[in-house]
Amino acid sequence: MASSSAAHLDVFQTLADPTRRQIVEALRGGERAVNDIVDGVDIHQSGVSRHLRILSEAGFVEVRPDGSKRLYSLRGEPFRELDAWVSRYRNHWAGRLDRFSQELQRRRKARGPRKNERTS
């Protein structure tokens, strides 16, 4: 995943913090002011602002001034990049899990029915 600045944090490091994940969840519904986010994550405004700054530096959120308010919203690009990266591994593990499932079925058939599976 490309870095947009020297201050850019690793996406996993950025999202590893539970409070930042809560903020991301709060922003899923759309643009929100800091005080609205504070109400949803139950930490002080200064803490929310610090986490929003980190999310902004990492490219996850953008801010739009609206009078005296600052409205935050999610940016799609880092989530698409993250999804693309994860999907490479998802495909790898899905294939392995499919083979594992097939092997379990083969072994069950070779073993025969269990005592409680037999019909009388």
What global pTM score does this model have?
0.68
Q: Which two tokens stand for residue 53?
A: 């700054």
Strand partners, 61: 74
Q: pLDDT for 49-105, tens place per residue? A: 999 999 999 999 999 999 999 999 999 999 998 888 888 888 778 777 778 888 888
Give me the phi and psi of 104, to 5 degrees please. Answer: -60, -45
Q: What is the DSSP secondary-structure string of 63-90?
A: EEEETTEEEEEE-HHHHHHHHHHHHHHH
Q: How many angstroms separate the CA atoms of 70 and 53, rounded?
A: 12
**What pLDDT is stored for residue 111 in this prediction?**
86
Interacting residues of 108 by C-beta distance below 8 A, sequence separation 6+: none
pLDDT > 90 fraction of the chain, expressed in percent and rounded: 51
* Rounded Cα gap, residues 54 and 65, in angstroms: 18
The pLDDT assigned to 120 comes to 52
pLDDT band, very low/low/confident/very high, at 116 (cuts 50, 70, 90): low
User: Using alpha carbons only, what angle is made at residue 42 by residues 36 and 48, rounded to the nearest 5 degrees?
Assistant: 65
Higher per-residue confidence, 4 vs 28:
28
pLDDT bucket at 3, cuts 50 / 70 / 90 = very low
Whether pLDDT at 117 is above 80: no
Contact 64, 27 (CB under 8 A): no
pLDDT at 2: 46
